[in-house]
């Protein structure tokens, strides 16, 4: 029989309403599992580990990603798949980060959560939890069907580093506009095998160093020189995610291009991704992005913001040179970018 490990980190799924204040707070994990007697019917042994202090995912940071990754690493050989229960707010960041931290992952790591707590009448938590476990438990010829980091929410399975949270209200809270669904859950679980990673037979390796000396610069019409200058002057800054318009465009004002140019010459990496949730940066397509090509802005193509930020943290934590990092940013390391 397979064995699945549930890792409970916090989030709405395991919260109850504080009687005095009315706000949602975490409650203990064993009580959470009691809410789902159906777990006993799953054809797998189910073990669980909980964060000592479960957190709202808005409090998650690189140390928490590494804690989750370490739990997976320490329990890797004893389990066939992993389900990470996580708040939905930053689930796509954690999924993206885990995809880079867990190198040579050959088993399923499925993140899920819910919009309503598991104890509430109309909760989406039970279906999300049970199907995430089913997915982590699925094998064909003893090979896991989804040997990668994925997000399961409301009948859809997304590649983790392609997912984004799009709604604070709908049960269908996630999308992956630039990559097909890995699976759909209807009466049957339908896997889209041709777009899912395959196992590579190598040993799992943990990339434990993440460097968060990065900043983001989101373009808007009317952005001031002071703001751009202030961002690019942050001490010890190593990289900037530049969120541009449409296919990678920004103002052509010379003060702007000059500031970006100076930053690049100082060794700061400038990674261009689009504010549009679908489609890709295409440097040089319009005159408003051709200066970027000339001064060495890196083309982030169709990467999500979440993937861009976590890929930078991972690459800056390695010993690669700046030019190697620039090269790797434009390659697909974990299926996060369309080439």
Q: Which residues bind ligand ASP (CB under 6 A)?
A: 10-12, 56-58, 87-89, 113, 115
CB 240 within 8 Å of CB 215? yes
E strands, 77-211, where? 81-85, 102-103, 109-112, 139-140, 143-144, 149-153, 156-159, 164-165, 174-175, 183-185, 189-191, 205-206
Range 210-243 burial, b when 16+ CB lie within 10 A, else e: bbeebbebebeeeeeeeebeebbeeeebbbbbbb
| CB of residue 23 to ligand ASP, shortest distance in Å | 11
| CB of residue 305 to ligand ASP, shortest distance in Å | 17
Q: Give the residue with the Cβ less far from ligand ASP, 166 or 189.
A: 166
Q: Give the residue with the Cβ less far from ligand ASP, 12 or 50.
A: 12
**Dihedral-angle region of residue 291 (phi above 0 means left; psi in -120 to 50 means alpha; beta otherwise):** alpha
Question: Rounded CA gap, 265 and 176, in Å?
Answer: 34
Q: Give the residue with the Cβ less far from ligand ASP, 94 or 289.
A: 94
| CB of residue 88 to ligand ASP, shortest distance in Å | 3
Q: Give the residue with the Cβ less far from ligand ASP, 10 or 108.
A: 10
Selected catalytic residue, list 12, 90, 304, 310: 12
| CB of residue 64 to ligand ASP, shortest distance in Å | 12
CB 210 within 8 Å of CB 317? yes
CB-based closest residue to ligand ASP: 87
Taking each helix axis from N to C terminus, what angle separates 305-316 and 91-101, rounded to the nearest 10 degrees? 40
| CB of residue 110 to ligand ASP, shortest distance in Å | 16
Q: Give the residue with the Cβ less far from ligand ASP, 90 or 137.
A: 90
* Count, residues in the chain: 339
Question: Rounded CA gap, 86 and 75, in Å?
Answer: 18
Q: Give the residue with the Cβ less far from ligand ASP, 11 or 160.
A: 11
With CA atoms as reference, report the closest residue to 31 among 153, 124, 118: 118
| CB of residue 114 to ligand ASP, shortest distance in Å | 6
DSSP, res 196 = S
The yes-or-no answer on residue 304 being catalytic is no
Segment holding 324, helix H or strand E:
helix 322-329
Q: Give the residue with the Cβ less far from ligand ASP, 173 or 247.
A: 173
How do beta strands 81-85 and 109-112 pair?
A: parallel
Question: Rounded CA gap, 252 and 175, in Å?
Answer: 32
With CA atoms as reference, report the closest residue to 55 among 81, 91, 20, 22: 91
| CB of residue 242 to ligand ASP, shortest distance in Å | 27
Catalytic residues, by residue number, are: 12
């Amino acid at each position: 029989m397979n064995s699945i490990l549930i890792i409970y980190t916090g989030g709405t799924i395991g919260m109850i309403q504080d009687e005095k204040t009315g706000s949602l707070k975490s409650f203990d994990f064993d009580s959470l599992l009691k809410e789902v007697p159906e777990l006993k019917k799953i054809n797998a042994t189910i073990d669980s580990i909980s964060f000592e202090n479960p957190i709202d995912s808005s409090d998650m940071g690189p140390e928490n990603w590494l804690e989750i990754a370490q739990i997976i690493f320490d329990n890797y050989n004893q389990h066939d798949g992993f389900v990470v229960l996580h708040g939905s707010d930053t689930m796509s960041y954690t999924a993206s980060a885990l995809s880079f931290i867990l190198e040579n992952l050959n088993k399923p790591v499925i993140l899920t959560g819910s919009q309503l707590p598991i104890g509430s009448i109309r909760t989406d938590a039970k279906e999300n939890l049970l199907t995430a476990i089913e997915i982590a438990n699925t094998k064909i010829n003893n090979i896991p069907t989804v040997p990668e980091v994925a997000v399961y929410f409301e009948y859809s399975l997304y590649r983790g580093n392609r997912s984004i949270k799009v709604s604070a209200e709908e049960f269908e809270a996630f999308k992956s506009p630039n990559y097909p669904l890995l699976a759909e859950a209807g009466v049957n679980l339908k896997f889209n095998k041709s777009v899912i990673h395959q196992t590579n037979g190598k040993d799992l390796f943990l990339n434990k160093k993440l460097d968060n000396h990065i900043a983001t610069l989101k373009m808007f019409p009317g952005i001031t020189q002071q703001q751009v200058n202030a961002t690019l002057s942050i001490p010890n800054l190593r990289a900037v995610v530049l969120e541009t318009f449409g296919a990678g465009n920004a103002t052509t004002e010379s003060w702007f291009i000059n500031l970006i140019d100076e930053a690049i010459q100082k060794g700061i990496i400038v990674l261009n991704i689009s504010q549009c949730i679908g489609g890709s940066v295409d440097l040089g397509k319009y005159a408003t992005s051709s200066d970027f090509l000339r001064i060495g802005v890196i083309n982030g193509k169709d990467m999500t913001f979440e993937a861009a930020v976590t890929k930078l943290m991972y690459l800056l934590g390695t010993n690669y040179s700046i030019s190697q990092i620039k090269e790797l940013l434009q390659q697909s390391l974990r299926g996060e970018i369309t080439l």
